[in-house]
């Protein structure tokens, strides 16, 4: 079974005034353990597609299944619960809570899930070790570099043991060394923990590391290439 299955996804903004057709009938299947980059020029529909896959936006038409469940039928509250349990997000802007330490940022979703303190502590320790940030456990975002903040963001996205990670331009604000380190970490998590990653990116460094590259243009998929 596919982790993600999108069937004839369409998205139109401002349908009653000046329609903007962001997606024009996208069919897409993502399997477990994929390391996939969705690419294309600005305005091609990359972020819109990622937001619909992640339940942050709803399609105007079509069907989106995550783990076999049609999420387009869920209420807003059901979608929130679904995202907390099954989907991890990594954004360009990190989106860490500034007054929280690295530990507190990572464990926040587990608090919402009412996990025990022992379970939260063990998972935070495991994840900080995985992203090479153990010594930064008590540091706040302002005390971390951009690359370090993004590592914490990756750890946070993994905290709930989601089905997959959606990463929207995760390297856009990082230098080459930080980007290389972050991609190494993600690739290792993809292989060792069988985490599925789907990127939306302009970054050639990410595209070069992907094992599947899907190209969008004007709201349609024009190329879908698996890379050996």
- The pLDDT confidence band at residue 143, using thresholds 50, 70 and 90, is very high
Nearest to 21 by CA among 216, 162, 194, 204: 216
pLDDT (tens digit per residue) in 115-137: 999 999 999 999 999 999 999 99
Domain borders along the chain are 33-44+76-226
The 10s digit of each residue's pLDDT in 43-91 is 899 999 999 999 999 999 999 998 888 998 899 999 988 888 889 999 8
Model-level pTM? 0.92
Of 54, 58, 66, nearest in space to 3 by CA: 66
Q: What percent of the chain has pLDDT over 90?
A: 79
Cβ within 8 Å of residue 116, ≥6 positions away:
none
Within 87-140, residue ranges assigned H as helices are 102-112, 117-130
What SS3 string covers 3-70?
Answer: CEEEEEEEEEECCCCCCEEEEEEEEEEECCCCEEEEECCCCCCHHHHHHHHCCCCCCCEEEEEECCEE
Q: pLDDT tens, 146-169?
A: 999 999 999 999 998 898 999 999
Name the CATH superfamily housing domain 33-44+76-226: P-loop containing nucleotide triphosphate hydrolases (3.40.50.300)
């Amino acid at each position: 079974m596919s982790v993600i299955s999108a069937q004839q996804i369409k998205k139109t903004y401002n349908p009653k005034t000046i329609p903007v057709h962001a997606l024009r009938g996208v069919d897409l299947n993502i399997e477990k353990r994929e390391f996939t980059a969705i690419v294309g020029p600005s305005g091609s529909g990359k972020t819109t597609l990622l937001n619909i896959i992640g339940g942050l936006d709803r399609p105007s038409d079509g069907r989106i299944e995550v783990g076999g469940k049609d999420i387009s039928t869920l209420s807003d509250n059901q979608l929130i619960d679904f995202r907390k349990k099954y989907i991890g997000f990594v954004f360009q802007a990190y989106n860490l809570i500034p007054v929280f330490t690295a530990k507190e940022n990572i464990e926040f979703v587990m608090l919402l899930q009412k996990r025990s303190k022992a379970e939260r502590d063990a998972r935070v320790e495991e994840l900080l070790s995985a992203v090479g940030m153990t010594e930064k456990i008590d540091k706040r975002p302002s005390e971390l570099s951009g690359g370090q903040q993004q590592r914490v963001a990756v750890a946070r996205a993994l905290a709930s043991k989601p089905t997959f990670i959606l990463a929207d331009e995760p390297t856009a604000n990082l230098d080459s060394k930080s980007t290389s380190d972050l991609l190494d970490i993600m690739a290792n998590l993809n292989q060792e923990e069988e985490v599925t990653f789907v990127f939306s990116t302009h970054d050639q460094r990410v595209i070069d590391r992907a094992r599947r590259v899907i190209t969008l243009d004007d709201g349609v998929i024009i190329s879908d290439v698996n890379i050996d």
